[in-house]
A and B are shown apart, each in its own frame.
Chain A
Amino acid sequence: MIVAKRKPLNEIAEMLAPYKKVTVVGCRSCVAICLAGGEKEVKMLVSALKLKAKKEGRKQHVEGFVVERQCEKECVAEVQGKILDSDVTLSMACSLGAQTIGDMYPKHLTFPGLNTGIFGVPEEQGVWSEKCVGCGNCIIHTTGGICPIARCAKSMLNGPCGGSANRKCEVNLEVDCAWAAIYDRLKLQNRLDLMEQLTPAKDWSTSHAGGRRTYVREDAKLTPHQKKGKEAVQ
């Protein structure tokens, strides 16, 4: 899932300092699961901001809310009144949520309270590690189920490099060398022949390097006639 973490509080406080009325909006989806922007985190942030204002003798009204999925317009619309009633909205969702609010209310100020982040997997409670960078063309069937683009610091396709020591990555000795792991996995599966082959250059055009991507299911899109009907009901 998307894993984000809260910006340092002093950074958030500085962002919000000039404003008298702040609305904080969290999200119950990914950021709640990774303990960054769910209901608990919103409450604690609101409290901390109030304490700071109290300490500095500033008048700042802060209120917090949570929506189910902040990247969905219908969910954000539920707190529209609270958003528009404030001088600034602090989004405690991932950047997708923050940008959804921003896109829905372009004249209104919406600031990010979190730093997004990674496509992460919970390794143990409280620890999420990156395993995918969304390259758009998954090849893990050739690497024993381990992604070298995400998990090798150099995104090598013909790894490992010469800096792999004790099966750890030279960049961070606490991180496993992805290619040592791929080697072990392929050996386990009796498929080391896959690693003996030369893997050619990657086509990065399916990744973000090729530009901002949009994925479409044509059959799921509404026709103009259907859109008209939907608007009439709303």
Chain B
Amino acid sequence: MTERKPRIVAFCCERHGMDAAVLSARSGRQYDASVRLVQVPCTGRVDGIHILQALEDGADAVFVFGCLEKNCYYDTGSIEGRKRVGYVKQMLSEVGIEKERVEMFNAASTNAWAFPEAVGKMVEVAKKLGPIGGGERQ
């Protein structure tokens, strides 16, 4: 029986987030997972419903990837992003779903290690926990 690859969704801000993601992509980095990027103007634009919807649509884990809090291009956007992620984690806990499936990461555009590190962490979570509701083979 072959398990499908973990499905990860990453909301990246179009500033430091995307820059860091692209920087690591240029190095030819491969992942043992299906990673889908969703570009947003700022991680402060990410709403709880976007994260929940991604999980509903089949993501095993979701992360939000934005500027370092002291260096957000839009000043306090990534702070908002963190708060939204925190709220979704709380909601997931309350319905018995592992809050580790959702995470917030911050990086500067020159941090080539940051995006792979984030993906790596979420892939580990996805492999450990499996798809929500278990045993989904597609």
A–B direct touch in complex (beta carbons closer than 8 A): yes
**A9 engages B133 (CB within 8 Å):** no
**B94 engages A10 (CB within 8 Å):** yes
**Binary interface encoding of chain B residues 82-101 relative to chain A, with 1 for a CB under 8 A from any of its CBs, else 0:** 00000000011011110000
**B97 engages A51 (CB within 8 Å):** yes
Considering the complex, give the chain B residue whose CB is closest to the CB of A8.
B94
| Residues on the A chain within 8 Å of B132, using CB | 51, 54-55
| Residues on the B chain within 8 Å of A49, using CB | 95
State the Cβ distance, B138 to closest chain A Cβ, in Å: 14
Tell which of A39-47, A70-78, A183-191, A192-200 binds the partner: A39-47
State the Cβ distance, B24 to closest chain A Cβ, in Å: 30
| Residues on the B chain within 8 Å of A57, using CB | 133-134
- Within 8 Å of chain A (Cβ to Cβ): is B49? yes
> What is the total number of residues of chain B having a CB less than 8 Å from a CB of chain A?
16
**Binary interface encoding of chain A residues 133-157 relative to chain B, with 1 for a CB under 8 A from any of its CBs, else 0:** 0000000000000000000000000
| Residues on the B chain within 8 Å of A50, using CB | 56
| Interface residue tally on A, bucketed by range | 10 to 19
CA distance A212 to B132 in the complex (A): 48
| Residues on the B chain within 8 Å of A55, using CB | 95-97, 132-133
- Within 8 Å of chain B (Cβ to Cβ): is A52? yes
State the Cβ distance, B65 to closest chain A Cβ, in Å: 21
| Residues on the B chain within 8 Å of A30, using CB | none
| Residues on the A chain within 8 Å of B49, using CB | 40, 43-44, 47
A contacts with B: majority SS: helix
| Residues on the B chain within 8 Å of A44, using CB | 48-49, 52, 91
| Residues on the B chain within 8 Å of A40, using CB | 47-49
| Residues on the A chain within 8 Å of B27, using CB | none
- Within 8 Å of chain B (Cβ to Cβ): is A48? yes
State the Cβ distance, A40 to closest chain B Cβ, in Å: 7
Considering the complex, give the chain B residue whose CB is closest to the CB of A52.
B95
- Within 8 Å of chain A (Cβ to Cβ): is B107? no
- Among B53, B96, B133, point to the contact of A47 (Cβ < 8 A): B53
**A9 engages B95 (CB within 8 Å):** yes
**B97 engages A9 (CB within 8 Å):** no
| Residues on the B chain within 8 Å of A54, using CB | 56, 132-133
CA distance A57 to B131 in the complex (A): 12
State the Cβ distance, B79 to closest chain A Cβ, in Å: 13
- Within 8 Å of chain B (Cβ to Cβ): is A13? yes
| Residues on the A chain within 8 Å of B97, using CB | 51-52, 55
**A52 engages B91 (CB within 8 Å):** no
| Residues on the B chain within 8 Å of A51, using CB | 52, 55-56, 92, 95, 97, 132
| Residues on the B chain within 8 Å of A52, using CB | 95-97
CA distance A52 to B134 in the complex (A): 12
**Binary interface encoding of chain B residues 25-60 relative to chain A, with 1 for a CB under 8 A from any of its CBs, else 0:** 000000000000000000000011100110110000
State the Cβ distance, A7 to closest chain B Cβ, in Å: 10
CA distance A13 to B97 in the complex (A): 12
A47-B94 contact, Cβ under 8 Å, with A40-B47, A40-B49, A57-B133: no
- A44-B49, A51-B132 known; 5 new pairs, CB 8 Å cut-off, are A47-B52, A50-B56, A52-B95, A55-B96, A57-B134
A residues lining the B interface (CB < 8 Å): 8-10, 13, 40, 43-44, 47-52, 54-57
**Can you list 6 contacts pairing A with B, beta carbon distance less than 8 Å?**
A44-B49, A47-B52, A47-B56, A50-B56, A51-B56, A51-B97
By Cβ-Cβ distance, the 4 closest A-B pairs, closest first, are A9-B94, A47-B52, A52-B95, A54-B133
